[in-house]
Amino acid sequence: MALLPAYVAAAFAVIVLLTDLFAGPRAVVVATAGGAVLTAVAAVLVGAGPDRRSFCAGDACSYLATDRSALVAVLFALLALAVLALSAPMLHAGAVPAGEYCFLLACSMTGGVVLGAAGDLITLIVALETLTLPLYLLVGLRRVASPRAVFTGVGAPRYPEPPPEDGDVRLHAEQDVAAEQVRMERTGAESAVTFFVVSVVATSVTLLGAALLYAATGALHLTALAGVLDQGGAAGNLAPLIGAGCALLVGGLAFKVAAVPFHAWAPATYDGAPLPVAAYLSTASKLGGVVALLAVVHDVLPAGETSGVLAVLAVLTMTVGNVVALRQTRTVRLLAWSSVAQAGYILAPLGASAFTSSPRDPLVAATLAYAAFFVLLELAAFAAVVALRPVAADGGELADYRGVARRAPWVGGMLAFALIGLAGLPPALAGLFAKVTVVRALVDGGASWLALIVALNAVIGLAYYVRVVALLYGPPTRDGSAGTGWTHVPWPVGTVLVAATVLAVVLGFAPEPLLRLTAL
């Protein structure tokens, strides 16, 4: 029973794969969406019941179905659903093979669903890998519709269908599509390889850390490990081993959240991936990293062991992310660097726990709350970018967005709203409360200096967010920014965009439910 959400998710991944054999892409998409919805429902059902545990060895269990795990599972299911909706136009146009795409997405979701319930290091790492492994393929997965594709024989070349009424877009599509496709194919492959190599290294580092911890303590279960470490660790001569194990473990997980100095893969990968995959990377994948880090840092490691490292990581991450984002000219790269910076804010409360003797729960709650606000706003931003771009296009240059909000006031306005939220300013109160939550937790935890650094970073952040927002409302260029097909927003994309924005607005006025939920 405790495993129900995981079973549902995994079963639907298989069903999706089978559906692809017998039915068209539409059925595949429907099956995937159904799987995500059912997974979310199952997670809610399990979460509503009492805490359950499974695969136990004595007191220690490998699978713990708690309220928190249910929350994480629901979040992953919803994110997968949203990303699927964002991908719908792309799948419809045949830019990526629907069956493989949906299968990989469902697999990744399964990993996320298990992740929240992981009770030992092995389950945790395997779940995290199940979450990220399909992404290596998703990043590079693009059915190539360029002349080269004919020679290499990849798939049936099919052009993305431009919106019918829009002459500009069709013109653009016909003129540039070949060169663009070749470029996108190459960057897609490059991104996938970058991501793959970096991730494999990160995973092996994480595994090495877990192995060292096991060697030093003989425990793998989070609770058992915590018990051993709390008692002052193992015998004295093993202390360095534990220290190295912790550092490696945290360092490996820091790759997943793209924390500086383990961030270099993120901008290239985001920019080369199809937009919905980039959205998934910056929301679900990052959330996975945060959940795993929380499990390790909060549940296992004693406060002094890693927090100093984490505080340094957080400061570096937010500062480097923000400063580099200032100079970006490509939309997705800007979002990627900004999400690196945001990872710094997420890590900051965890880092603060080194400097406080007070209970760490408020800090963890702040981390989760900020992560939830961030994921929501980031999803809205990506949804708006998908809605503004032609089908299956990449994020394009920032200059392509000049004046967009004047011609597409609603979509452009929602993009502006999401960006302002990421900057943490009214009228996007959700972002403001996220900022207040983190700073408050830091001040509360006695790390006012870290709070000051977070606060000052918000100023750097505003510099580039406001640049983009000003661009959105700027005077349109003469050539009519041909790359931006805003006239026609497919309904799944529109639904995600509106839902995310409405949720952000509602949470802006009533953040209490989310703050309570994350304080579990």
Partner 1 sequence: MSADLSSALLVAVLALPVLGALAVALLPAARDRQARVLATVIAALTLVVAVPLRWGTAESGWFGDGPPVAGPWALLDLPWVPALDLRFQLGVDSISYPLVVLTSLLTLLCCGYTIWRVPPGGPGRLLSALLLVIEFGILGTFLAFDLVLFFVFFEVVLLPMYAVIAVWGGTHYGPDSAEREPQRAAARKFALYTLFGSVLLLVGVLVLVTAAGTSSMIGFPRLDRGTQVFAFTLLLVAFAVKSPLWPLHTWLPDAHTQAPTVGSVILAGVLLKMGTYGLVRVGLGAAPQGAEVLSGALGVLAVAAILIGSLVCLAQTELKRLIAYSSVGHMGFVLLGIATMTATGIQAALLGNIAHGVITGLLFFLAGAVKDRAHTGSLDELGGLRENAPRLAGLLGFAAIASLGLPGLAGFWGEAFAVVASVQRGGGLWTTLGALAAFGGALTAAYLLRLLRRVTHGPASPAVSLLVPSWSVAGALSAAVTASQPGSGAGSDSGAEKPAVAGLPERLVPGWPTAAELLAWSPLVILALLLGVWPALVLSGTDAPINDLLEMVRP
Smallest separation, CB 509 to partner 1 (Å): 9
Judged by CB under 8 A, which stretch of 19-27, 46-54, 461-469, 495-503 contacts partner 1?
461-469
Q: Could you tell me which residues come within 8 angstroms of residue 471 by beta carbon, excluding any fewer than 6 positions away?
A: 398, 399, 401, 402
For partner 1, the closer of residues 282 and 317 by Cβ is 317
Smallest separation, CB 287 to partner 1 (Å): 21
Judged by CB under 8 A, which stretch of 71-79, 219-227, 419-427, 497-505 contacts partner 1?
419-427
- Distance between CA 8 and CA 110 in Å, rounded? 8
Query: Is 266:233 a contact under the CB 8 Å cutoff?
Result: no
Query: Is 139:105 a contact under the CB 8 Å cutoff?
Result: no
Judged by CB under 8 A, which stretch of 190-198, 392-400, 426-434, 492-500 contacts partner 1?
426-434
For partner 1, the closer of residues 33 and 450 by Cβ is 450
The answer to whether residue 360 forms part of the interface with partner 1 (CB under 8 A) is no
The answer to whether residue 313 forms part of the interface with partner 1 (CB under 8 A) is no
Judged by CB under 8 A, which stretch of 16-24, 119-127, 301-309, 439-447 contacts partner 1?
439-447
* Residue in 15, 30, 399, 443 binding partner 1, rule: CB under 8 A: 443
Query: Is 96:141 a contact under the CB 8 Å cutoff?
Result: yes
Our CA angle for 319, 322, 325, nearest 5°, is: 145
Q: How far is CA 240 from CA 213, 217, 225, 230, in A?
A: 10, 12, 16, 15
For partner 1, the closer of residues 274 and 461 by Cβ is 461
Smallest separation, CB 449 to partner 1 (Å): 10
- Distance between CA 498 and CA 518 in Å, rounded? 24
For partner 1, the closer of residues 214 and 473 by Cβ is 473
- Distance between CA 218 and CA 233 in Å, rounded? 11
Smallest separation, CB 467 to partner 1 (Å): 8
Q: Residue 54: in which H helix or E strand, if any?
A: strand 52-57
Smallest separation, CB 457 to partner 1 (Å): 9
The answer to whether residue 439 forms part of the interface with partner 1 (CB under 8 A) is yes
The answer to whether residue 326 forms part of the interface with partner 1 (CB under 8 A) is no
Smallest separation, CB 463 to partner 1 (Å): 6
Map tokens 């800007």 to a residue.
Answer: 334
Please tell me what DSSP assigns to residue 326: T
Pick from 459, 401, 398, 449: nearest CA to 425: 459
Q: Residue 348: in which H helix or E strand, if any?
A: helix 331-352
The answer to whether residue 381 forms part of the interface with partner 1 (CB under 8 A) is no
**DSSP H helical ranges for 116-238:** 121-140, 147-152, 167-217, 222-230
The answer to whether residue 67 forms part of the interface with partner 1 (CB under 8 A) is no
* Residue in 8, 42, 109, 420 binding partner 1, rule: CB under 8 A: 420
- Distance between CA 164 and CA 406 in Å, rounded? 22
Rounded to a whole number of angstroms, the CA Rg of the chain reads 22
* Residue in 208, 312, 436, 520 binding partner 1, rule: CB under 8 A: 436
Please tell me what DSSP assigns to residue 162: P
Measured in whole angstroms, how far is the alpha carbon of residue 449 from the centre of its chain? 28
The answer to whether residue 429 forms part of the interface with partner 1 (CB under 8 A) is yes
* Residue in 141, 248, 451, 468 binding partner 1, rule: CB under 8 A: 451
For partner 1, the closer of residues 25 and 508 by Cβ is 508
Report the site for partner 1 in 469-488 (rule: CB under 8 A).
470, 473, 475
* Residue in 18, 45, 463, 502 binding partner 1, rule: CB under 8 A: 463
The answer to whether residue 336 forms part of the interface with partner 1 (CB under 8 A) is no
Query: Is 115:127 a contact under the CB 8 Å cutoff?
Result: yes
- Token pair for 506: 């509602």
For partner 1, the closer of residues 152 and 477 by Cβ is 477
Q: Could you tell me which residues come within 8 angstroms of residue 155 by beta carbon, excluding any fewer than 6 positions away?
A: 97, 143, 144, 145, 149
* Residue in 88, 275, 458, 489 binding partner 1, rule: CB under 8 A: 458
Q: How many residues does the chain have?
A: 520
List residues near partner 1 by CB under 8 A. Answer: 420, 425-427, 429, 432-433, 435-437, 439-440, 443-444, 448, 451-452, 455-456, 458-459, 462-463, 466-467, 470, 473, 475, 510-512, 515-516, 519
